Amino acid sequence: MPVSKRLLTDYHKPSKKRGDNQDSSADFEYNEKHWTTVNQINKSVALQRHRSNNSNLIIVKTIRRENVGLTWQPSELRAHTAMRPCNRIVQIFSHSRTELDLFEVKIQITFKHYPLGDLLQWRRTYMSTKRTDLVTAHQKYRPIPESYLWRYLVHMSQALAFIHGDLTQDAFTRSSSAGKHILIHRDIKPENILVSGSGTYPSFSLTDFDCSTFQTPENENSRQRCGTYQWQGPENPFINTTAADVWSMGAVLHWMMDLEGSPPIDGDPAAFAKGGDHPPAASSYTSNLHYYRAALPRRAKTFRGYTDEVTEILLSILKQYPEDRPSAVEILQTRLGPTARQMLREAGGAAAVADLDLEIDC
């Protein structure tokens, strides 16, 4: 889809060539002997501090695999090495490969540390009421200001339009005679969106491409069980599409607007999973909980306290059928356009419209 002049003017700004504007990732080499783990975030991801500089923090992802070929790369590394650097995608600092023995390989990928954490951590820290609902036992949150929602929509629409190949033909460094590359994230959720910003208005960046895949004619219509089921659209397991990514972006917006922080699922998967009688299809999932997270109907709610404009965007993104949803670039062109910038300027002046441009290294 061609990109409109308005979109290019408002939301796309090519940055300088690599080397013209060096950042802290330039020429970075990771040596694990010089770093110590501060927090083991999960089994493969750790926050580490430099042994001789306590203020120097990085994120290290360690991936171990057995019986893989010499040229094997994890999906995350394949995605990052194919993409040009973009300010809506969390960039890697370095990556290394170590052959542990004849059968096992260790891949280590380092990333910039975001002190505000991911969207879930940020909301729990800055938007929590410290109370839970007595009926559902869900944590109760303070309302997220609508200006933050507009910034989220702009930033994540830019991120998806970029990886889906709709903003610029230069999104990916490798060439292809088959046409543009389309990268599908397949695991968009609050934990995979990082928050940054030193002022009042946060910025959002997409991370964790572990489940990503390049769309091909062969896999576009294939079943795929990966990612996090409760953040996937009603068409799952057919998630190898740009429309599936868009729905997941909308599911996170729904979660941000909901004071209980729930995705747009009709029912509580955990409550269903506790029952004693389950459909035969549940046996094909690793747990009953996973089955209900994937199978329960998707239903979007509307929320008091937000304008019709942002609610209309939410409902358009969460349409039942993939063909009825706007693409990420259509959201930027026709749903957001000048509206987001105007809403933000009215909410907070120049500070609210800072960092709205998409920047891609040439």
- 34 and 180 inside one domain: no
- CB contact set of 128 (below 8 Å; sequence gap of 6+): 139, 140, 141, 142
- 241 and 185 inside one domain: yes
DSSP codes, 301-351: ---TTS-HHHHHHHHHHT-SSGGGSPPHHHIIIIIIHHHHHHHHHHHHGGG
Residue 322 lies inside a defined structural domain of this protein:
yes
pLDDT at 8: 40
Q: Could you give the number of structural domains in the chain? A: 2
96, 112, 128 - which closes a domain? 112
pLDDT tens per residue, range 201-238? 999 999 999 999 999 888 888 888 888 999 999 999 99
pLDDT at 172: 77
- 107 and 164 inside one domain: no
- 137 and 78 inside one domain: no
Per-residue exposure over 146-179, b if at least 16 CB sit within 10 Å of its own CB, e if not = bbbbbbbbbbbbbbbbbbbbbbbeebbeeeeeee
- 184 and 245 inside one domain: yes
Peptide bond before residue 237 is cis, with ω within 30 degrees of 0: yes
- 347 and 239 inside one domain: yes
CA atoms within 13 A on the CB side of 17: 0
pLDDT tens per residue, range 157-201? 999 999 999 986 567 775 544 557 899 999 999 999 999 987 789
112, 147, 182 - which closes a domain? 112
Report CA-CA distances (Å) from 151 to 64, 137, 158, 232, 331. 36, 30, 11, 22, 13
- 322 and 342 inside one domain: yes
Q: Which two tokens stand for residue 55?
A: 């203020």
Residue 362 lies inside a defined structural domain of this protein:
no
pLDDT at 13: 58
- 81 and 213 inside one domain: no
Q: Which two tokens stand for residue 29?
A: 């080499």
Residue 361 lies inside a defined structural domain of this protein:
no
Q: Domain residues for 63?
A: 17-112
Look up tokens 């059968």; give the residue.
103
Q: Could you tell me the CATH number of the domain that includes residue 202?
A: 1.10.510.10
- 142 and 24 inside one domain: no
80, 112, 144 - which closes a domain? 112
pLDDT at 271: 87
Q: Which two tokens stand for residue 54?
A: 């306590």
- 236 and 158 inside one domain: yes
DSSP codes, 214-242: E--TTTTTS----S-GGGS-TTTT---SH
Q: How many CB atoms lie within 10 A of CB 36?
A: 11
Low-confidence ranges of the chain (pLDDT < 50): 1-9, 16-23, 176-177
pLDDT at 100: 86
Residue 5 lies inside a defined structural domain of this protein:
no
Separation between Cα atoms, residue 246 and residue 231, nearest integer Å: 11
Separation between Cα atoms, residue 278 and residue 151, nearest integer Å: 41
pLDDT at 337: 80
- 97 and 130 inside one domain: no
- 79 and 131 inside one domain: no
